[in-house]
Homo-oligomer: A and B are copies of this chain.
Amino acid sequence: MTATAPIIGALASQNCQACPIRHRAVCAKCDDDELVRLERMKSYRTWQAGETIVMEGGTLPFVGSVVKGSASLTRYLEDGRVQMVGLLMPSDFIGRPGRSTAPYEVTAISEVTLCMFDRAQFEALLKNSMQVSSRLLEMSLDELDAARDWMLLLGRKTAREKVATFLALVLRRAPVSASPLRCTLPLGRDTIATYLGLTIETVSRQITALRRDGLIRLEGNGRTILCDDLTALLVQAGEDEAGTLSR
């Protein structure tokens, strides 16, 4: 039940100073000494889109950061119903100190590269580095807030609001504010549905409806979304303040 390592994609160790997530990941506040300690315990590995990183209930022998690509956390009911419970983007942390069993499945959405830390060594570092532990606390609290926002979406939003919220979320990270905003979804309709607590058909219909209503435009095979007016889209998302998503 151990995470099996695809042989492909192993990377040579890389200098932390040059790391693209150096200033946002769990190591963001580290001084040079701590960085050296982390460098000694780290290794890289890459998974292809669709590959399972750990099964629900499986053993995750490391903790680490997403360097590149994205991954999903999903939970299952016994009859096969699925709900995505987290979306990991670059700099997000994966794994829980003090527990090596994963309570949800972790899957690569696109090709994903992790910077992995040996669990035992990382836990030892955590015990005496306030920089690392306080950064991890901060990140965990951010995730908790995000999870609670998502609870509101799952429990009370309509299908249209859910889809609008999701699209606004991804458009927001679009390469700086060109107008129109443009972004290519890393997820298929099925994965979006899993994330939003909907079916694939409903997601498709709502995207069509938003397009018909002039709130978004599609391009190419339907994976690229354009938006001229993000504010108008945010209104469709139904939040009490349009600014909430920006937190």
Contact = CB atoms under 8 A, between A and B. Distances in A.
Contacts of A175: none
Contact of A154 (B137, B138, B149, B155): B155
Given A78-B238, A130-B128, A144 B140 contact: yes
Q: Report copies per complex.
A: 2
A212 interface: no
Nearest to A104: B148
Given A154-B151, A154-B197, A145 B103 contact: yes
A220 interface: no
A119 B229 CA distance: 40
Contacts of A104: 148
- Interface size grouping (class) on chain A: 35 or more
A98 B137 CA distance: 11
Given A78-B240, A155-B197, A147 B149 contact: no
Nearest to A81: B156
A232 to B, nearest CB: 15
